[in-house]
Amino acid sequence: MGILSRVGTLLKANINDLISKAEDPEKILNQLIVDMREQLIDAKKEVARAIADEKRLKKKYEKEQKQAQEWEKKAMMAVRAGRDDLGKEALQRKKEHDELAQEYKKQWQAQKEAADKLRNSLRQLNDKIEEAKRKKGVLVARQKRAEAQKRIQDTMSGLDDTAAFDAFDRMEEKVEQQEAEAEASAELSGELTGDTLSSKFDELEEDHGSDEALSALKTKMGVEDEADEESEEEEFSFEDLEEKAEKKAEEEIEEEEKVNAGDRGTWDSDDL
Query: pLDDT per residue over 202-250, tens digit each?
Result: 666 666 666 677 777 778 777 555 545 555 544 445 566 667 767 777 7
Quote the CA–CA distance of 223 and 104 in Å, as a whole number.
124
pTM, 2 dp: 0.44
CA distances from 63 to 73, 96, 115, 260 (A): 15, 13, 21, 174
Q: Tell me, what's the pLDDT at 67? A: 93
Q: For 70-98, b where at least 16 C-beta lie within 10 A, e where not — what string? A: ebbebbeebeeeeeeeebeebbebbeebb
**Which segments of the chain have a pLDDT < 50?**
1, 19, 227, 233-236, 264-272
Q: Tell me, what's the pLDDT at 72? A: 92
- Cβ pair 3, 32 in contact under 8 A: no
Quote the CA–CA distance of 5 and 3 in Å, as a whole number.
5
CA 44 to chain centre: 43
HEC secondary structure over 138-169:
HHHHHHHHHHHHHHHHHHHHHHCCHHHHHHHH
